[in-house]
Structure 1
Amino acid sequence: MTMQAEVIVVGGGMVGAALACALGHGGVETLLLDRRSPERQWDESLRDIRVSALTKASQAILEGVGAWRGIVQKGAAPYKDMRVWDGRSDGYLHFDCADTVFPELGHIVENRITVAALWDILDGLPTVQCITPAEIERMESIENGRRLRLTDGQSFEAPLVVAADGRESALRSMAGIGVTGWPYRQDGLVATVQTELEHQATAWQRFLEEGPLAFLPLFDGQCSIVWTLSTETARNYLALPDDEFLRLLQQASGGILGDMLKIGPRAAFPLKFQFADRYTDSHLALVGDAAHAMHPLAGQGANAGLLDAAALAEAVIDTQRSGRPLSGVQYLRHYERWRKGDNLMMMASMDLINKTYAVGNPMFAKLRSFGMNRINHTTALKDYLNRHAMGLRDDLPRLAKGQVCW
């Protein structure tokens, strides 16, 4: 027996789950498929080493679908300041929420918290059904839609299938959509650390020879670190005893948070610049990491994915309400035009910044620092960059502006 739906979303991470929530609120019959059910309960003494810096636009999306209250209850850490400095010169940037109309610049949230809060909302949406475990064996084109066959023999059909299944998207490969990009030959080493000094609700980032080191404030007073290192260095640092790793971490931090007292489990993830050659195909759309992967130095990957989800949900709901079929192509082309340019601009900016700070030439470092300091003392330019980093830019989906799209 084949199960029918209007939209099938493959991948129940924060982007896929947010999309399914928005579609469910809009009354769209949606199936959400994932290899496993997400973690909903955990040991409160242990932190998730994967976190995201959620912008004000992302907060608005999550508020719109009803998940933000649960995120705050489970643990969201507002950050009010962002301090960025060059470890090889005197370049410095300071962004302060006091220069905005908001009480904070954004929030640092463990990924598991965001996903769990979204799945809590999915439980109460009558037009959404979550199916786990679900492993896709193949995807077939059918008249006016696509069919997905699972390894356990189940099959599902819909006029639209959405790939939210990550950077190595199986659905993207099955559709024959290529990718363009390159590996950075860098890894992002992540962990949770207890520091001597309070984090002061501040996101700290120091640019070093191999890449930036970020300290992101958590709600329990600890910090999540994201340390960009060469792949070889990251591998070596993972193997170090805790005390030796903490010594190197403190040295790299420049002492900004005092002694490094305690470190949790460590992991490292390869970094890549990658974008899909197209975001859509017949009866198929890509969102999140399936469509694009960017350097994490500004923490924009998850936020870009949530904007994808909000934009696609708006396009689907508007199409359905206008009486047009979801098997059409016009709304998918609109979605691709809407999101691809914005994502490529953000990705290119992150790539340029990463390459700029990789240059070790002393004269270039002085020029780089001059630019940072000039921006720091140019109010209009700094305000523009601050608003852009907060996700408050033009042409946002309605959800990202605090308006529902259903």
Structure 2
Amino acid sequence: MADALPPDENRRAGKKRSGKSGKVADFRYKRSSQQGKGSRQANSRANAARANGSAKPDAARGPANHAQALNDPHRTNFKPRKNEAYAALDLGTNNCRLLIARPSGRDFTVIDAFSRVVKLGEDLAKTGRLSDEAMDRAVGALAICAEKLRRRNVRLARSVATEACRRATNGEEFIERVKRETGIMLDIITAQEEARLAVLGCHILLESGEGPAVIFDIGGGSTELVLLKPGGKIPEIIDWQSVPWGVVSLTDTVGRGESGREARIERYRKMRGIVSDAFAPFAGRIADAAKSSDIRLLGTSGTVTTLASLHLELPHYDRKAVDGLIVPSAAMRDISGRLSAMSPQERSELPCIGQDRADLVVAGCAILESILDLWPAERLGVADRGIREGILRSLMAAERHSERSLKALHENRAGRPTPRNGE
């Protein structure tokens, strides 16, 4: 299987979930049949009413492989069934994103995509719960995803939820509501699984070299860092850490007091301190590797793509210009410092930031600078890809593995002599 790592134990503090993380379902999405009361439930049903069909339980999982290696998903040709698609849905703390693709030679071709800011983790750091308003926004976006999945003849899909649902006391209740109203079965994945999928989705953009590499993913509610073994075409994870600080959780925890320049600078300093303290155990473990020559660094997140856009002085975001870009780390530090001292209004007027990112980009800058402190690579690779691409590669690789195994079984049976009576 292309994404093999130690099985995801799916541990969650205070609760045990039935089944294991990593499930893959053959979805056919349905219209909600629940008859709740109140305007909030009515709005959610209206949003979900576009999706119809019936949901099926888990249909396939690739075999577990205990080797900590991301095997090459491209090493064999894959012949997909005609017109059938694969889908990856990532419900994060801030965004809901969907990618639908068909296998194409050694890669895949995207045939549909969807992204919406839903702010699922809004105020989670203060209350410990997903708010009704946040859940409504997420369900509305997921209803649109369900309709796209139904229309696109999706053969296999995997839908995951990350830090917001991991941390929220009502996370499981929300998962049940999503299943009931949209037919989508979200899998709350662990931080380890989240890191693994991010690496699988973007590692091909790592700058060439023989030195050790770190890949990081700055999310809305958490940040994952992964240390990869030097050399080799297939990345091997040798250490990793996840901290509960993303652009939303860090912003909500520190607060939005930005009344003056000095207050903004102090706020940024506090953010840097919180994140650096959280990274400290990982920083200690990788300190020797960080001293190596030719260390490499790759980041996947809205933070790094936004800062890369500012570095290029783009008038509007251009994925083709940003995805795969190599930027001097010093330039990213300089941009981070300037943004942290600006007012929210000044940030919102910059190209590629706007109102949606104006409040959150400073927290992302604080996290990025803390990463550059512990892994002082001279250059930073930028990836506009990650978990969803990792999921798609996992699904397609699992299908390849299954078809190879089935073919081998048939060949063995065809070549085996027929047993005689009594044997």
**Superposition TM-score, scaled by structure 1 size:** 0.28
Larger Rg: 2
Q: Relative contact order, CA 8 A, sep 6+: which one is greater?
A: 1
Bigger share in helix: 2
Query: Which has the larger share of strand?
Result: 1
